[in-house]
Amino acid sequence: MTQIESARKGILTSEMKEVAAAEGLAPDCIMDAIAAGKAVIPNNTGRKARLVGIGKGLRTKVNASIGTSSDIIDVKAEVEKALAAERAGADTLMELSVGGDLDAIRKEVLGATSLTVGSVPLYQAFKEAIERYHDPNKLTEELLFDVIERQCADGIAFMAVHCGINRLTIERLNRQGYRYGGLVSRGGSYMVGWMLRNNRENPLYEKFDRVVEILRKYDCVLSLGNGLRAGAVHDSLDRAQVQELLINCELAELGQEMGCQMMCEGPGHLPLDDIEANVKLQKRMSGDAPFYVLGPLVTDVAAGYDHITAAIGAAEAARYGADLICYVTPAEHLALPSKEDVIEGVRASRIAAHAGDMVKLGKKDRDMLMAKARRDLKWDDQARIGLFGERAAEIRSSRAPTEPDTCTMCGSFCALDNVNVYFKDAMQKGTKR
């Protein structure tokens, strides 16, 4: 049985217990959330991995994406990126290669990391169609479903499948005059092209039950891909994007009824004032199904620093209820990320997730501990409490102060050092101890 089938029968699985312990919650809370379709545990039954829960009431998780391109095929480098992402604190990983032997690369990554790993099967399906038929639009349904099955059999734990693109969404795209930023989803753009060239409905939508049945067999989470996500802030919440979101929310409910764990994806580029509406719309229409967000990037003009652009949006999205953040690296829009880009992307997203959870979950205890450690000039405690204590200690030691209790920003002019002596009694007697 899948996690959702077990939960709906009142069966508390070992996976639910593991997630409950990690979240500091009662196991029954996890079971109830999964039964209601409000949380998932990505967990392919054929591969043991470090489990995480994703969904309402749980800590916001961070996903890192890696993978070869058609220009750069270096499997060793991608494995190093996967391990770097894991060390940097990513909760999940997506293997998104499009260059080289994709089956071999996927197995290499799955064998190297302890993280749960996701994929986008359309990438491989269209690549193989090009190799076999010299035309992506000659992709056959059987090849498409074979790739989905193959990736599940290898141990993929969650899969972004573009089921919500159909004739209606393409009609909306045409009626609104296409888009300022075009279509930016690789899988989505290839599927739209396939549908238009062949004058056919999307088989992932038309035969949704077949998609679900394959993933259900492996207890692989079906993450309903956001193929029409906005790639520019001026396309945010346009009719095509909202139409696909509506369809994905409907499909999430259908998939849950069929016994498959489900997530919805979105939204790409959104200005700050659209983020709350987008998250609440998804949550309302899907019955609180877990929401997996790319970014959202809040401006289009910060190439080179889009990990910051995305972290701003991700903090807001998490605040309003997003459950899983797909990181963005400094290389976004520019190049295949390096290992250093991956690390920066994970760290920026972890900050965003923490900032969002401070509001969404009311978790501010760690920040309280840091405030006191800084007030009391306890540098070792600050390194221990901080998200990136090792990096913080490295910066401090690289510019060591003359007076060991201070730092070289202020030196002997340290505000805390100068005034704490006058408030020792107050700190002992007052509430702010």
Domain with 101 in it: what CATH number? 3.20.20.540
333 and 406 part of one domain: no
| Structure confidence at residue 425 as a pLDDT band (50, 70, 90) | confident
Q: What is the pLDDT of residue 138?
A: 98
Query: CA-to-CA distance for 16 and 11, rounded, in angstroms?
Result: 10
Question: Does the residue 338 lie in any domain?
Answer: yes
Query: CA-to-CA distance for 296 and 298, rounded, in angstroms?
Result: 6
Q: What is the pLDDT of residue 344?
A: 98
Could you tell me the CA-to-CA distances from 382 to 366, 387, 394 in Å, in that order?
A: 11, 10, 13
Please tell me the total count of domains within the chain. Answer: 2
Min mean pLDDT across 13-27, 56-70, 252-266, 406-420 is at 406-420
187 and 43 part of one domain: yes
49 and 144 part of one domain: yes
Mean pLDDT, rounded, for 290-297: 96
- Reply yes or no on whether the pLDDT at 283 is more than 80: yes
Distance, C-alpha 38 to centroid of its chain: 16
Q: What is the pLDDT of residue 417?
A: 85
Question: Does the residue 339 lie in any domain?
Answer: yes
Instruction: Give the contacts of 282 (CB within 8 A, at least 6 positions apart).
Output: 245, 249, 264, 266, 289, 291
More confident residue, 33 or 432: 33
Query: CA-to-CA distance for 51 and 18, rounded, in angstroms?
Result: 7
pTM of the model: 0.96
Q: What is the pLDDT of residue 177?
A: 96
Question: Does the residue 351 lie in any domain?
Answer: yes
Could you tell me the CA-to-CA distances from 263 to 42, 161, 362, 392, 431 in Å, in that order?
A: 10, 10, 24, 36, 43
Query: CA-to-CA distance for 282 and 266, rounded, in angstroms?
Result: 9
What would the pLDDT profile of 75-125 be if each residue is shown by its tens digit? 999 999 999 999 999 999 999 999 999 999 999 999 999 999 999 999 999
What would the pLDDT profile of 356-413 be if each residue is shown by its tens digit? 999 999 999 999 999 999 999 999 999 999 999 999 999 999 998 888 888 999 888 9
| Structure confidence at residue 335 as a pLDDT band (50, 70, 90) | very high
- Reply yes or no on whether the pLDDT at 203 is more than 90: yes
Question: Does the residue 194 lie in any domain?
Answer: yes
> Which residue, 144, 191, 186, 150, is CA-closest to 167?
191
Query: CA-to-CA distance for 217 and 46, rounded, in angstroms?
Result: 10
Please report how the helices 272-286 and 239-257 are oriented relative to each other, as an axis angle in degrees rounded to 10.
Answer: 30
| Structure confidence at residue 254 as a pLDDT band (50, 70, 90) | very high
Query: CA-to-CA distance for 179 and 89, rounded, in angstroms?
Result: 36
What would the pLDDT profile of 79-92 be if each residue is shown by its tens digit? 999 999 999 999 99
191 and 275 part of one domain: yes
414 and 345 part of one domain: no
| Structure confidence at residue 424 as a pLDDT band (50, 70, 90) | confident
Q: Which of 342, 360, 378 is the last residue of a domain?
A: 360
Query: Can you read off the two tokens belonging to residue 192?
Result: 């739209």
Q: What is the pLDDT of residue 185?
A: 96
295 and 403 part of one domain: no
Distance, C-alpha 211 to centroid of its chain: 21
102 and 223 part of one domain: yes
DSSP β-ladder status, 291-297 and 262-269: parallel
Q: What is the pLDDT of residue 404?
A: 84
115 and 203 part of one domain: yes
Question: Does the residue 208 lie in any domain?
Answer: yes
**142, burial (CB in 10 Å: exposed 0-12, middle 13-18, buried 19+):** exposed
Q: Which of 304, 326, 360 is the last residue of a domain?
A: 360
- Reply yes or no on whether the pLDDT at 53 is more than 80: yes
Q: What is the pLDDT of residue 431?
A: 74
265 and 404 part of one domain: no
Q: Which domain holds residue 375?
A: 365-429
- Residues 37, 19, 250: CA angle, nearest 5 degrees: 15
> Which residue, 42, 46, 43, is CA-closest to 54?
42
| Structure confidence at residue 308 as a pLDDT band (50, 70, 90) | very high
End-to-end CA distance of the chain: 51
Question: Does the residue 29 lie in any domain?
Answer: no
